[in-house]
Amino acid sequence: MQDITLLPQPSTNRDATPRERRYYVWTVGCQMNVSDAERLEAALQGVGYSPALRPDEASFIVLNSCSVRASAEERILGKLGELVRVKREHPDTRVVLWGCMVGPENRSIFAAQLPMVDHFVSPSAVDEVVALAPNPIYSLDEPALPVADWTHPPVTVYVPIQYGCNMTCAYCVIPQRRGRERSRPLAELVAECTRIVERGAKELTLLGQIVDSWGHDLPGRPTLADLLTAVDAIPGLQRLRFLTSHPAWMTEQLIQTMASLPRCMPDINLPVQAGSDTLLKLMRRGYTSARYRELVAQIRAVIPHVSLTTDVIVGHPGERDEDFAQTLELCAELRFDKIHIAAFSARPGTLAAAQEQDPTLAVAEAVKEERRRALEQLHEQIARERNRHFLGQSVSVLVESESRGRWRGRSPNNKLVFFSHSADLTGQLVPVRITQTGPWALQGEVGDSR
């Protein structure tokens, strides 16, 4: 999944809902967590709750956690520290720690270490969290309101199509926390996506840990290409994306299908993690750097204007100078639109955490930081050059929201675009002529380049 996201506190119109029926959901992590949080909020609103702006205004607080990196856990622990005061002032507040930090092996340890937490719930178990809300208005026998039934869903909605992961990447804790892969049935997904679009969403992003493997565990073994084809045909849908791909699972059929579907955007996140085969083997990624290069060439041959993003871990145990040099070389050669860079941090219980205990494999923090900076520098230079290509072009922007007096949205390639306009353009596709480019965003004016 892509980079760590820290969601802002929920914004909402104030209403007269008492504290007893206000919730506060705080999310750290990837798009899967964002999607879980959206679903939870919709379900809580379905049982009579309203969002609170601050934790002390809520009787039900849910921290949706991530443990992919140590820094994400630290943010959650910091937030839990703040809740000690809230619990002291409002002892009836119920606090739930939810998400990837919660695993079967650490619940009892956490229970002793985090007395401000009342309940621990595993990732994605939305119904389990809703059942803990202290003051629901409706009986929980009634189905909770799914995100598809929100009156006003956001412009762009993430839809989980699969949970869990069957891979065993050395550094990753997700298979332990989210379990084996489970694909959601095609008919259920198409019905849900249709309802979301009917209620006003314009863009859907289908989510899975290895999204390309969707369907292999379902009867008849449908493929992601089948699902994309079905969702792409939903009337009213403007844009379709999917996340996160895996080099060992992406197929020629999927690439060809992407290219042929009118709403499927030319945008692929294909994590490479390292450019050295020695490292890829240690990481247990299941492909070689040659196979990765071949796949990128194949994608670019079929979809020449594709935007390719990747994820890289620097400082993984066993990474020598020459391994890192190969990562730099691969990134310089393949010229990604974006690289999500993470310095390795050991996740307890993973193979890489054990590898790090071996002094011959461990990478010093200063070296990790040096490598992170070197890759950041290369990344910024390439992103700046790639974005310069859009200067003077007209791109179609799906407008998501206003940000500091300017409208912000995304181009088909998923580039962030800012522009000014007096009207509210939320949810509209607007042609924007690009007047300024930088490594992380584009600026422009409404109108095309003619």
Residue 64 beta carbon to ligand SF4: minimum distance, rounded to whole angstroms:
17
Chain CA centroid to CA 181, Å: 17
**Secondary structure element (H or E) that encloses residue 242, with its range:** strand 239-243
Q: Which stretch binds ligand SF4 (CB under 6 A): 105-113, 162-170, 360-368, 384-392?
A: 162-170
Residue 86 vs 172, nearer CB to ligand SF4: 172
The answer to whether residues 308 and 337 touch, using CB atoms and an 8 Å cutoff, is yes
Of the CA atoms within 13 Å of residue 357, those in its CB half-sphere come to 7
Residue 201 or residue 272: which is nearer to ligand SF4 going by CB? Answer: 272
Residue from 34, 169, 189, 264 that binds ligand SF4 (CB under 6 A)? Answer: 169
- Within 35-64, the residues that bind ligand SF4 by CB under 6 A are none
Nearest residue (CB) to ligand SF4, 353 versus 416: 353
Helices in 240-361 by DSSP H: which ranges?
A: 252-260, 277-283, 289-302, 321-334, 351-356
175 part of the interface to ligand SF4, by CB under 6 A: yes
Tell me how far apart the terminal alpha carbons of the chain are, to the nearest angstrom.
Answer: 38
Q: Is position 246 an interface residue for ligand SF4 (rule: CB under 6 A)?
A: yes
**Residue with smaller CB distance to ligand SF4, 67 or 413:** 67
User: Do residues 184 and 203 touch, judged by C-beta distance below 8 A?
Assistant: no
Select from 37, 42, 52, 174 the one that contacts ligand SF4 (CB under 6 A).
Answer: 174
Spatial distance between the Cα atoms of 382 and 380, rounded to a whole number of angstroms: 6
Name the residue nearer to ligand SF4 (CB basis): 244 or 387. Answer: 244
Shorter beta-carbon distance to ligand SF4: residue 146 or 175: 175
Nearest by Cα to 91 from 107, 126, 115, 120: 115
For the CB of residue 338, give the shortest distance to ligand SF4 in the complex, in Å: 18
Q: Give all strands (DSSP E) within 306-428, no chain letters.
A: 307-314, 338-343, 394-403, 406-410, 416-419
Give kind and range of the element (H or E) at residue 367: helix 365-388
For the bound state, the minimum distance from the C-beta of residue 163 to ligand SF4, rounded and expressed in Å, comes to 11
Closest approach, Cβ 194 to ligand SF4, in A, equals 28
Interface residue with ligand SF4 among 95, 96, 97, 172 (CB under 6 A) is 172
Q: For the segment 196-215, give every residue that binds ligand SF4 (CB under 6 A).
A: 209-210
The pair of structure tokens assigned to 297 is 């060439």
**Calpha distance 367→358 (Å, rounded):** 16
Name the minimum Å distance from CB 209 to ligand SF4: 4
Decide if residue 179 touches ligand SF4 (CB under 6 A).
no
Q: Measured from the CB atom, is 130 or 210 closer to ligand SF4?
A: 210
Q: Binders of ligand SF4: how many residues, by CB under 6 A?
A: 9
Triad 229, 235, 240: Cα angle to 5°: 50
Comparing CB distances to ligand SF4, the nearer of 169 and 250 is: 169
> Do 41 and 23 form a contact (C-beta atoms < 8 A)?
yes
Measured in degrees and rounded to the nearest 5, phi and psi for residue 353 equal -65, -40
Residues in contact with ligand SF4 by CB under 6 A are 165, 167, 169, 172, 174-175, 209-210, 246
